[in-house]
Amino acid sequence: MAKLADEVRDKMTTELAKFPGVATTNDRYLALAYSVRDRLLRRWVDSASAILAQRHRTVIYLSAEYLIGPQLGANLMALGIEDEARAAAKQLGTTLEVLVDHEEEPGLGNGGLGRLAACYMDSLATLDIAAVGHGLRYEFGIFDQDIRDGWQVERTDRWLRAGNPWEIRRYEIMHEVGFGGHTEHTVTGVRWIPERVVEGVPYDTPVAGYGTRTTNFLRLWSAVASEEFDLDAFQVGEYWRAVDAKIRSENLTKVLYPNDSSPAGKQLRLEQQYFFVSCALQDCIRLLLHGGANIRDLAEVLAIQLNDTHPTLAIPELMRLLMDLHGLSWDDAWTITRKAFAYTNHTLLPEALETWPLPLVARLLPRHLEIIYEINRRFLDEVRAKFPGDNARLARMSLIGESGDKQVRMANLATVASHHINGVAALHSRLLRETVLRDFAELWPERFTNVTNGVTPRRFVALANPRLGELITSAIGEGWQRDLEKLRGLENFATDAGFCEKWRAVKQANKAALAERFDFDPSALLDAQCKRIHEYKRQHLNLLHVIALWQRIRNGEDLGVPRTFVFAGKAAPAYWMAKLIIRLAAGVGEAIAGDPKARHQLRVLFVPDFSVKVAQRVYPAADLSEQISTAGLEASGTGNMKFTLNGALTIGTLDGANVEIREAVGADHFFLFGLTAEQVSAAKANYHPGRDLDAELGNALHLISDGAFSRGDRDMFAPLVNDLRERDPFLVCADFRAYSDCQRRVAELWQAPEKWVASSIINVARAGRFSSDRSISEYAKQIWNVAPLRVG
């Protein structure tokens, strides 16, 4: 193969039509990216032909979100050509760092759910499992976040503006997706005559495995109008009306709904969901038949995973395709469907369980509603037979909710049609069985399982934290990137003074690098809470503690431990309370910075526009990871794993995967506080947060109300303070004292640096099971029944 540097120089001419004198940084980035892509494509073609030749059972991952992060660095690492790329960059008169930094990431997800999908694509390829990830190619991803006067301001994310070298548009593939209209039932079957038709076209992005040739791909669907113009309208001179239909179709994949863990409930969102699953399934069937298989083999050839309920319409869509287009009977179609699908639930928050108004589904997808009704009729018969006379149970389990206006309940639909249903951490899977899906778990206990989330060590350790990666390799050798349990070998080094010193120096260097961007004291304890802003995640609990520390300083106490509190995360644009919490962080930061007595001991930093790229800078620098959600509400969390794997200690509640992290690293190496999920439910029965407030907490609330963090404005934070005093649905007040005391234990350990460093090493050494490779191996064995592919 030609030298990368030569290829890059060629690309400058053949792809970009530029020469060195006029080339911009973007050109240099694109030239390198195109050259890297060429190498990926060769591997991809080999993988694809191996899949076809071996008729390999393939995973079809359906997800409305993929937060894949910047691609250049990750791809260079997967291909093992970083040194070559460095030389190529040099030849272009720049550095690899500049080019990697230049890349704009595709923000096609909101948070953990979308990032999990991206980690899983990485692990699938690395474990040589044939897989295609289907999703939506949003023209605008998650909004960019600015902070102005302490408030979040949203800007559109024009991520495609400078070109996207990683994707390939497949011009030969197109699927039609209908909406609206009516159905016709005849003796030969059912026909759906949609009112309008949109075309779906795919853009593919290669996903390279690490240390293997297997390369899978993400296929993201984009909507285009099926008729360029409405010809009738065009002929009578109504140009605008003619173009209108086109614009309407293409709006379908314009923008990602910026809601995290709560549905938007908008028609366009439902259209997006149906659009991409219809494209995905039509495409799967096309490939299946092309490969010479019979449509009846679909569930043998494909294992389809629903990433939360967003792709659930795939169930009635597959039934429709099998019956109405391929002539199968209901029973045959249902048998195949039941064997094909599995469903992962990602939240227990009641407001987050997706339901769609029945009239909307009837209007938009009349055929699908008929199918849903029929699934429901047969399903309820089964329940009735097992639990005769239990009408309350029947009402709870029905796919159609009757409370107020009727709705279609997506979680129930996904559960009824899936051979496996899993939660994303042990506690969450248990609560899922005991609460939200209890009736279903009683009916089909064997279908319920757990797969605890994981994260890719390639991106989140090796790539994000090269200093740590090198130190780990120097101690235990290569191989941990593909087999993270190998980190165990680090445990012996926790008592090696020389190694501990190197470990400390790595953290220090990472903090110094972050401090260069954000100007803080790198010797202070870096205490970080980075995740979507949400009341249940309790960024305000953290802030109340910061205010309490500030008060202690004002009262003459010496904290002994200088701290920098880093906050980062986006709030859903319509989530007022979350935006107010961001404003509070800014206000607290400002007040402390203005206090000469406090500013050397405390600093509050809000890092704007949290993204994969920003995250890769923050995780390596953190000393303390804040995982302080109200117990029972965070399904898993994955940031908790990323911080741990970068050597941060955790302060956290017994929630989500924190429970398992604590088990893995050992109770002595985890700062635990707060009510358990059971205690939370019990406490809620008779909770009066405003009564007997803790003195420090009362004082902090008073300062907030008094305008100390809003430049004297006493109204700004009233909604937040009143809510905490009167309702406090997330038990911030109940957990405040325990949290604050636990933070004292953090400070004590920090003052014994050798112990802190040893604990940090032990955390990393014992966190190998939080690799997404472990999660994907579990899905492969327990749920998908797939084996690795042989490529080459």
d(CA 339, CA 337): 5
503-506 contacts at long range (C-beta below 8 A, 24 or more positions apart): 503/471, 503/647, 503/757, 503/760, 503/761, 504/753, 504/757, 506/465, 506/467, 506/468, 506/471, 506/647
Out of 532, 538, 579, 669, which one is annotated catalytic? Answer: 532
Question: C-alpha distances in angstroms, 613 versus 72, 125, 460, 616?
Answer: 12, 22, 10, 5
Between the CA atoms of 51, 55, 56 and 60, what dihedral angle is there, to the nearest 10 degrees? 80
Residue 71 or 309: the one with the smaller Cβ distance to ligand NBG is: 309
Q: Which is nearer to ligand NBG, 123 or 261 (CB)?
A: 261
| 346 noted as active-site residue | yes
Whole-angstrom Cα distance, residue 791 to residue 49? 9
Do β-strands 182-186 and 151-155 pair in parallel, antiparallel, or remain unpaired? unpaired
Under the binding rule (CB under 6 A), the answer on residue 456 touching ligand NBG is no
Residue 635 structure tokens:
């399904």
Applying CB under 6 A, does 346 fall inside the site for ligand NBG?
yes
Question: Cβ closer to ligand NBG: 463 or 635?
Answer: 635
Our finding on whether 424 is near ligand NBG (CB under 6 A) is yes
Binding ligand NBG (rule: CB under 6 A), the pick from 58, 278, 452, 453 is 453
Q: How far is the CB of 453 from ligand NBG (least distance, A)?
A: 5
Assess 260 for contact with ligand NBG (CB under 6 A): yes
How far apart CA 713 and CA 705 sit, in angstroms, is: 8
Identify whether 537 is a catalytic site residue. Answer: yes
Q: Does 347 bind ligand NBG (CB under 6 A)?
A: yes
User: 3-class DSSP state for residue 118?
Assistant: helix
Return the axis-axis angle of helices 695-705 and 732-750, rounded to nearest 10°. Answer: 110
Cα(372)–Cα(335) distance, rounded to whole angstroms? 15
Q: Which residue has the tokens 């050397």?
A: 600
CB of 68 to ligand NBG, least distance (A): 15
Closest separation in Å from C-beta 105 to ligand NBG: 19
CB nearer to ligand NBG: pick between 214 and 629: 629
* Number of other residues whose CB lies within 10 A of the CB of residue 144: 18
> CB of 646: closest distance to ligand NBG in angstroms?
17
Give every CB contact of residue 651 below 8 A, 6+ residues apart in sequence. Answer: 624, 625, 626, 627, 628, 671, 673, 739, 742, 743, 746
Rounded to a whole number of angstroms, the distance between the first and last alpha carbons of the chain is 17
In sequence order, what are the beta bridge partners of 131?
59
Q: Which 630-649 positions form the footprint of ligand NBG (CB under 6 A)? A: 634-638
DSSP assignment letter at 770? G
Find the shortest distance in angstroms from Cβ 637 to ligand NBG: 5
For ligand NBG, the closer of residues 165 and 637 by Cβ is 637
Phi, psi (rounded to 5 degrees) for 125:
-65, -45
Closest to ligand NBG by CB, 215 vs 272, is 272
φ, ψ at 482 (rounded to 5°): -105, -10
Q: Which one is catalytic: 212, 312, 638, 653?
A: 638
305 binds ligand NBG (CB under 6 A): no
Nearer to ligand NBG, 212 or 616 (CB): 616
What secondary structure does DSSP assign to 696-752, as a single string? HHHHHHHHHHTTTTTTT-SSTTHHHHHHHHHT-TT-HHHHHHHHHHHHHHHHHHHTS
Long-range contacts of 98-101 (CB under 8 A, 24+ apart): 98/25, 99/25, 99/28, 99/29, 99/32, 99/72, 100/70, 100/72, 100/73
Specify whether the CB–CB gap between 550 and 598 falls below 8 A.
Answer: yes
- How many residues make contact with ligand NBG (CB under 6 A)? 17
Q: Is there a catalytic annotation at residue 175?
A: no
Contacts of 217 (CB under 8 A, 6+ apart): 44, 132, 133, 204, 205, 206, 207
Please pick, among 56, 134, 175, 346, the residue that the annotation labels catalytic.
346
Residue from 656, 674, 689, 768 in contact with ligand NBG (CB under 6 A)? 656
Shortest CB 597 distance to ligand NBG, Å = 39
Stretch 581-640 residues interacting with ligand NBG (CB under 6 A): 634-638
Tokens describing residue 704: 């907030």
98: region left, alpha or beta (phi > 0 left; psi from -120 to 50 alpha): alpha
Give the shortest CB-429-to-ligand NBG separation in angstroms.
11
Alpha-carbon torsion (600, 601, 602, 605), positive or negative: positive
Q: Examine residue 63 and tell whether it contacts ligand NBG (CB under 6 A).
A: no
User: Per the residue annotation, which of 310, 531, 613, 769 is the catalytic one?
Assistant: 531
520/770 with CB nearer ligand NBG: 770
CB of 655 to ligand NBG, least distance (A): 9
In whole angstroms, the minimum distance from the beta carbon of 345 to ligand NBG comes to: 9
Out of 308, 527, 660, 735, point to the residue binding ligand NBG (CB under 6 A): 308
Give me the least distance between CB of 638 and ligand NBG, in Å please: 5
Q: CA-to-CA distance for 31 and 449, rounded, in angstroms? A: 46
Q: Would you say 351 or 519 has its CB closer to ligand NBG?
A: 351
Q: Any idea of the CA torsion for 775, 779, 785, 788, to the nearest 10 degrees?
A: -30
Q: 532 catalytic, yes or no?
A: yes
Least distance (Å) between residue 110 CB and ligand NBG: 7
Q: Which residue, 347 or 653, has its beta carbon nearer to ligand NBG?
A: 347
Binding map of ligand NBG across residues 103-132, x = CB under 6 A, - = no contact = ---------xx--x----------------
Contacts of 562 (CB under 8 A, 6+ apart): 521, 523, 524, 525, 600, 601, 602
Q: Considering 39, 511, 642, 662, which one is annotated as catalytic?
A: 642
Looking at the Cβ atoms of 60 and 424, the one nearer to ligand NBG is 424
How far is residue 640's CA from residue 650's CA, in Å, rounded to a whole number?
8
338 is catalytic: no
Q: Does the protein bind ligand NBG through residue 209 (CB under 6 A)?
A: no
The residue (of 179 and 770) whose beta carbon lies closer to ligand NBG is: 770
Q: How far is the CB of 308 from ligand NBG (least distance, A)?
A: 6
The mark string for 521-540 relative to ligand NBG (x by CB under 6 A, - otherwise) is: --------------------
By the rule CB under 6 A, 655 interacts with ligand NBG: no
Selecting among 134, 537, 579, 774, the annotated active-site residue is 537
Interface contacts to ligand NBG, rule CB under 6 A: 112-113, 116, 260-261, 308, 346-347, 352, 424, 453, 634-638, 656
| Catalytically annotated residues | 346, 531-532, 537, 638, 642
